[in-house]
Every structure is written in structure tokens, then in C-alpha cells.
Structure 1
Amino acid sequence: MSQPTRYYIPALASVYAGLTPLAEALLRVVVGGFLVPHGAQKLFGAFGGYGLAGTGGFMESLGFTPGVLFAFLVGFVEFFGGIAIAIGFLTRPFALAATGVLFVAAVSVHLANGFFNQAGGWEFAGLWTIAALYFAVRGGGRYSVDAKLGREF
């Protein structure tokens, strides 16, 4: 059994307890919200994206065939899953799917470029993989649709 945290300034315990659910909700909204435009690029060609056909061609160049199917699946997870994560609806399954998408992107696209994001490395994709994994494990938290419904995976 874990011991309660012993704070250097014990009076801050109640501050942390009150702010933690808000911080988790903010992080969840950001993680989900940042996925949405990437999905829109793949599905709809928005924000300078290549749409399903262009993204599908890129997917095939990486060895993911049929490319258009993979483009749709990744775009769906990013766009609709991003919205779901942001509002905290079916948080765990969508966050788990996003974790998979982000991990595959980190390994198949970015790993060969080293660590740093400036050179196209895996730094950015790796960070977002771990952020999505947090919500796959933790769930939507107190301020989520899942909590309001009283149901979670």
C-alpha cells in the first residue's frame, strides 16, 4: 500500500488536491484538441493537408497498404478521437487508439531522424504518445462526459 505524499509545505496539499482535476481536464482538452486538426488534414485536406488520397499515398510509401484505408483510420482516430478525448467521452478507448497511432508515427516516420523535433525526430511524437497513454490509463477524470455519465471503460 502506498504512503500518503509528505509535502515540504503541508498546507499546499489541499491546493494540489483541488487543482489536480482541473489540470488533468486542461491537459485532456489540449491533447484531444491538438489531434483534431491533424485528423482534419488527413480526412478533409484541411489546414494544408493532403486529404485521404495524398495521405494514403504517403502511408503506402511507408509500407501501410492499402494506404487510403490507413489514412482513413488514422484520420478518424485523430479527428473524431481527438474530439472525444477533448470532451472526455469514451476517453480510454480513444486515447488508447491515439497512443497506438502516435507510437507508430514516432517509430515509422520520426525515429530514423534522431531525437530532436527540428530535424523531424521522434521528440514531439514521443511526447504526445505518452500524453495519450496517460489518458488511456487514467480515463477522462472528474470533469469529463464519462464522469457525468457515470460510466467508463
Structure 2
Amino acid sequence: MSDITFKNEPARLYFPFLAGFYDRVAQPLAWVAFRVAIGGLLAIEGWPKITHPMGQVGFVENLHFYPGWLWSPTLAAIQFFGGILIVLGLFTRAAALANAVMLAITIVFHYTHPYGHAFLTPAGIEALTTHAEFFTSAAQRRLADGGHAFLELAQGKAEQDSWFWAGGAFLFAAFGGRYFALDNMMKKIF
């Protein structure tokens, strides 16, 4: 099996003389960089969940995953340790598939349970303006509209991040770690 995931046929390129560069340099570096980005971000996002493994019991039970005491640490481990495995390219397909399924559920959750349109009720906005001494200037700016703009931004970020991570995880579940992955080294040893 060739180590070239997507062969760059010179006849199909704008600059045919770069085919070798694309195959031997650009593609391997891009593949590894994307693997590190997907796995690294999953591990970073999973770290707080690993340090507090029961912190999502209520959340997972709201998604009808029972018992929460089992699913909360399981999902934390999938995200954190799976992210590290993706970075290393070790058991890449299994780790990526587990994360991809989890992230697909996360996408559905973000669309069916949006953050809402405001933190503050009209009375809260009035309290913000009449008792400004209790709020920092940054809080006053962010909450002047009741938090609508902030929540819209947070909702969009949550949806975009979930799509990005899910797409990347599905890609690695389909193709494996490929370049510079420990999976490849293990195949050579065994």
C-alpha cells in the first residue's frame, strides 16, 4: 500500500511540477497538522471533564443516557484519551469513530437545546443600569442587551466547533492516522 492518501496526478494540477512536493511534503504535513489539531482540541476540551468525571451526570441524563454516573466518565475518557490517541495516530480509527459518534450527538444537542436569547430579564437589565456599581464595565457591555449578542456568539461557536471536530473525527475514522502515525509503526512491528 502506498503512503500517499490522495495521489496528485500532475496532469490534474495547475502546477504539475509541484506534484512531488504535494505528495511527499505538503500532504503529509497537512494530514499530521490536522490530526494534531483535531485530537489536541478534543483532549483540551476533555481535560476538565477528566478532572471532574461526574460533572456531566445531569447533562447526559438530560440526553436520556442512563445511568449518568456511567456515561459521564465514559464520555470524558472518550474525549480526552481519544484525543490523545488521535494526536499520536494510535488506534486512530477506533478513537476517532468513538469521538465522531459522540460529536454527532453533540451537534444534535446544540440544535435542539439552544442557549436561549438572554441571560437577563427586563428587570435584570434595569438592575444592571440602575446598579452599575455591582458590575464590571465588561459585564455592562456584554449584558446591556440582556446577553443576547453574547449567547448568539456562544451558540454559534458551540455549533461550529462541534461540526469541525465531528468532521475531522469522521475523516480519521475513515482514513486512519496515515502519515507519521504510530498505527503504521505497529503494523511494521507486528
| Residue correspondences, number | 142
Deviates more, 1:123-132 or 1:62-71: 62-71
Task: Provide the residue aligned with 2:139 in structure 1.
Answer: none
Per-residue CA deviations over 1:77-96 (Å, capped at 9, x if unaligned) read 11111111100000001001
Asked whether the 8 Å contact 1:38–1:75 carries over to 2, the reply is no
Runs of 4+ with deviation above 6 angstroms: none
- 2:41 corresponds to which letter in structure 1? F
- Residue pair 2:8, 2:23 contacting (<8 A) in 1 also: no
Q: Which residue of 2 aligns with 1:90?
A: 91
2:118 aligned residue: none
Q: 1:79 to 1:119 in 2, by over 3 A?
A: closer
Tell me which of 142, 147, 152 is aligned to 2:179: 142
Q: What's the TM-score once normalised by structure 2's chain length?
A: 0.68
Give the corresponding residue for 2:140.
none
- Residues 91 and 9 (structure 1 numbering): CA distance in 2 closer, same or farther, change over 3 Å? same
Whose radius of gyration is greater, 1 or 2?
2
**1:99-127 CA distances to partner (integer Å, 9 max, x unpaired)?**
0011111112x11339xx72414222012
Amino acid at match of 1:22: L
Confirm whether residue 120 of structure 1 aligns to residue 155 of structure 2: yes
- Return the TM-score normalized by structure 1: 0.83
Return the structure number with greater relative CO, CA threshold 8 A, min gap 6.
2
Identity %: 35
Shift of 1:3: 9.7
Asked if the contact 2:40–2:83 (Cα under 8 Å) also holds between the matched residues in 1, the reply is yes
Asked if the contact 2:8/2:19 (under 8 Å) is kept, the reply is no
Superposition RMSD on alpha carbons, in Å?
A: 2.3
1:41 aligns with 2:48: yes
CA contact (8 A) 2:43 2:83 kept: yes
Measure the CA separation in 2 of the matches of 1:27 and 1:3.
19
Does the Cα contact within 8 Å between 1:29 and 1:85 map onto a contact in 2? Answer: yes
Larger CA deviation: 9-18 vs 132-141? 9-18
Offset at 1:54? 2.3
Q: 1:128 to 1:3 in 2, by over 3 A?
A: closer
Match of 2:4 in 1: none
